[in-house]
């Protein structure tokens, strides 16, 4: 398996623009997570899905952020409009069941810079 | 609510010396505990986990961690550090009864000098 695939790896945009980050989880995994990493706040959970259904979106910073999972093999995280404070590395991760393992498989991340 | 604390932003050790990266946690129920490592410009990689059983857990690359329930700690250790161990290390916890996602600490940068 190719692992969790994220795109783009790097995105530079201007304040006010719409940003869409994409994730393809590992085939067969039924949980998908979006995390944000910054120097100040470390790794924060934004939202996670189970079987394509959002379970907990309490970490989504504000209404400018939205996430969807239209099918088992694809998820998007959208920021509209983007702001400089959204600059961070956004990680997608997937796993099979939360059961007694919970081991997450991470993508390489999408580094977002908002000017 | 569950939480994880990594009290050291950075740990510096000389190659060949033992290393310890500290982690304490807080959960309502029984904890599932994890360590992940992140190399520059890469995603996080799983190192080891404690679910139940023996308090000393062995993982990848010679790392181990000791679960201490009374001290609510899960420190990462390695008997002899390598320069290639230099990376960012994250401790994570999940409450076994809550069915929630992993919560990560802020990370500790390990620097091993030759």
Give yes or no for a contact between B32 and B50, defined as CB atoms under 8 angstroms apart: yes
Instruction: Please judge whether B101 and A91 are an interchain contact, meaning their C-beta atoms are less than 8 angstroms apart.
Output: no
Does any CB of chain A come closer than 8 Å to the CB of residue B104? yes
b vs e for B28-52, b when ≥16 Cβ sit within 10 Å of the residue's Cβ? eeebbbbbbbbeeeebbebbbbbbe
The pLDDT tens digits of the residues spanning B54-84 come to: 999 999 999 999 999 999 999 999 999 999 9
Give yes or no for a contact between A52 and A107, defined as CB atoms under 8 angstroms apart: no
The pLDDT tens digits of the residues spanning A82-92 come to: 999 999 999 99
Q: Is the pLDDT of residue B30 over 90?
A: no
Give yes or no for a contact between B36 and B89, defined as CB atoms under 8 angstroms apart: yes
Task: Give SS3 for A84.
Answer: helix
pLDDT of the residue at B95: 82
Q: Is the pLDDT of residue B8 over 70?
A: yes
Query: Which chain A residue's Cα is nearest to B103?
Result: A45
Which residues in chain A touch residue B107, judged by CB atoms under 8 angstroms apart?
42-43
Residue B35 sits at the vertex; the CA angle it makes with B31 and B41, to the nearest 5 degrees, is 140
Closest partner residue to A43 among B45, B90, B96, by Cβ?
A: B90
The pLDDT tens digits of the residues spanning A9-60 come to: 999 999 999 999 999 999 999 999 999 999 888 899 999 999 999 999 999 9
Task: Give SS3 for B84.
Answer: helix
CA distance B42 to chain A (A): 5
pLDDT of the residue at A102: 64
Give yes or no for a contact between A3 and A55, defined as CB atoms under 8 angstroms apart: no
Dist CA A77 CA A47 (whole Å) = 10
Instruction: Please judge whether B44 and A56 are an interchain contact, meaning their C-beta atoms are less than 8 angstroms apart.
Output: no
Give yes or no for a contact between B66 and B80, defined as CB atoms under 8 angstroms apart: no
Mean pLDDT over all residues of chain B? 93
Residue with the bigger pLDDT between A107 and B28: it is A107
Output the DSSP codes for A13-59: E-TT--EEEEEEPPTT--EEEEEEEETTTEEEEEEEEETTEEEE-TT
Give yes or no for a contact between A84 and A67, defined as CB atoms under 8 angstroms apart: no
Stretch (H or E) spanning B92: strand B87-95
Which residues in chain B touch residue A104, judged by CB atoms under 8 angstroms apart?
36, 44, 46, 102
Instruction: Please judge whether B103 and A104 are an interchain contact, meaning their C-beta atoms are less than 8 angstroms apart.
Output: no
């Amino acid at each position: 398996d190719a692992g969790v695939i994220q795109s783009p790896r790097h995105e530079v945009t201007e304040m006010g623009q719409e940003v869409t980050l994409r994730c393809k989880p590992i085939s067969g995994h039924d949980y998908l997570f979006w995390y944000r990493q910054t120097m100040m706040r470390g790794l924060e959970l934004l939202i996670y899905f189970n079987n394509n259904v959002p379970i907990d979106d309490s970490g989504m910073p504000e209404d400018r952020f939205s996430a969807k999972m239209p099918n088992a093999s694809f998820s998007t995280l959208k920021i509209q409009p983007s702001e400089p404070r959204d600059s961070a590395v956004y990680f997608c991760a997937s796993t099979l069941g939360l059961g007694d393992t919970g081991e997450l498989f991470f993508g390489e991340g999408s580094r977002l810079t908002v000017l | 609510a569950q939480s994880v604390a990594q009290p050291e932003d950075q740990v510096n050790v000389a190659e060949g010396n033992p290393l310890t990266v500290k982690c304490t946690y807080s959960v309502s129920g029984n904890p599932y505990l994890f360590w992940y490592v992140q190399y520059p410009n890469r995603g996080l990689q799983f190192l080891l986990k404690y679910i139940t059983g023996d308090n000393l857990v062995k993982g990848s690359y010679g790392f181990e961690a000791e679960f201490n329930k009374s001290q609510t700690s899960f420190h990462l250790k390695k008997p002899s550090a390598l320069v290639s161990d230099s990376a960012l290390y994250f401790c994570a916890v999940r409450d076994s009864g809550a069915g929630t996602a992993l919560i990560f600490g802020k990370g500790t940068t390990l620097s091993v000098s030759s």
